[in-house]
């Protein structure tokens, strides 16, 4: 099966360098018309320049593709709406949104200023919310849309000194879960990508020999699948160095601990069983937890009265 984007319009945020640039170039190479968005700020979000986005647009055009540059900050909803309007004025539709823009403000939680915590949430989480909100009515009207959120192993599994980044990245998984459910009837599919790649975001976090082995281009195939016509939905793919894995938020079978005054002690005793992963499930929605728990409680009550 060949994956192509002929006739599609894509918006890639944070596309002036690193992963975003690689995503934009790959989408354009496969036929997409691309809005290359980048504020042009530093890694911590300070400053701004249109030159990074314009350079990537020049690369795409030199290769025979179509692209336009945009310098909106994803934290500014009015600017994001203007970016989407720019795409609509140029090409009349928006099919793909890759939420890639991000910054780092790393410190241990004890030393972190709350302003740095909020800013990272604003860029990663609210930036993705702003972009998704701006394209959502368009995708609903055309009965087609593909949205890729950039999550992270830091959000999924934690990383020392990145409480703000991890909180924002895991929040994007929660956003994906609900948007995928709400978008299903309009063929809007929403997925997450957790990349491992050498970019300016990671240049101080890994040894140089490891960085040399991790090119952003190795993450691109996962993005191309998650944003394609045949894409899955509610899928979290982890990708790096030529490898792809899937991550899941699962629910174990657990244990019934009762409702009496000894329930806490019973839970402490049964905690290994509660955490036991044999037979764990991936719920279809949040309601599945309640269904599982009530079903177990009803069955327990039935056995007690039998």
User: Active-site positions?
Assistant: 165
> Are the CB atoms for 163 and 221 separated by under 8 Å?
no
Going by C-beta distance under 8 Å and a sequence separation of 6 or more, which residues neighbour residue 34? 9, 10, 11, 12, 15, 24, 27, 28, 60, 65, 66, 67, 68
The first and second tokens of residue 297, run together, are 């409680």
Sign, CA dihedral 14-17-23-24, equals positive
Rg of the chain on CA atoms, in Å: 22
Q: How far apart are the first and last CA of the chain?
A: 56
Going by C-beta distance under 8 Å and a sequence separation of 6 or more, which residues neighbour residue 30? 3, 4, 5, 6, 224
Reported for 124-129, long-range contacts at CB under 8 A and 24+ positions apart, including other chains, are: 124/165, 124/168, 124/169, 124/171, 124/172, 125/168, 125/171, 125/172, 125/175, 126/74, 126/75, 127/13, 127/74, 127/75, 127/99, 127/101, 127/102, 128/74, 128/99, 128/172, 128/175, 129/175
CA nearest to 126, candidates 185, 64, 76: 76
């Amino acid at each position: 099966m060949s994956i192509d984007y002929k006739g599609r319009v894509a918006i890639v945020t944070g596309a002036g360098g690193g992963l975003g640039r690689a995503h934009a170039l790959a989408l354009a190479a496969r036929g997409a018309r691309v809005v290359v968005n980048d504020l042009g700020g530093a890694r911590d979000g300070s400053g701004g320049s249109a030159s990074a986005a314009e350079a990537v647009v020049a690369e795409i055009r030199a290769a025979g593709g179509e692209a336009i540059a945009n310098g909106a900050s994803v934290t500014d909803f009015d600017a994001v709406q203007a970016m989407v309007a720019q795409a609509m004025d140029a090409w009349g539709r928006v099919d793909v949104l890759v939420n890639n823009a991000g910054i780092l403000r790393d410190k241990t939680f004890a030393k972190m200023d709350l302003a740095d915590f909020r800013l990272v949430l604003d860029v990663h989480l609210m930036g993705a919310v702003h972009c998704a909100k701006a394209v959502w009515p368009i995708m609903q009207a055309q009965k087609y849309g593909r949205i890729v959120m950039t999550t992270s192993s830091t959000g999924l599994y934690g990383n020392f000194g990145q409480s703000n980044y991890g909180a924002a990245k895991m929040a994007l998984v929660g956003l994906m879960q609900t948007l995928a459910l709400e978008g299903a009837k309009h063929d809007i599919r929403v997925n997450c990508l957790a990349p491992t790649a050498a970019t300016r975001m990671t240049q101080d976090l890994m040894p140089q020999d490891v960085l040399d082995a991790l090119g952003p281009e190795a993450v691109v195939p996962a993005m191309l699948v998650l944003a394609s016509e045949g894409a899955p939905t509610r899928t979290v793919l982890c990708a790096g160095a030529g490898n792809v894995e899937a991550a899941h938020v699962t629910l174990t079978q657990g244990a019934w601990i009762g409702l009496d005054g000894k329930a806490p002690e019973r839970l402490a005793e049964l905690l290994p069983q509660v955490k036991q992963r044999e037979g764990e499930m991936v719920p279809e929605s949040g309601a599945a937890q309640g269904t599982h728990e009530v079903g177990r409680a009803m069955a327990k009550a039935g056995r007690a009265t039998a």
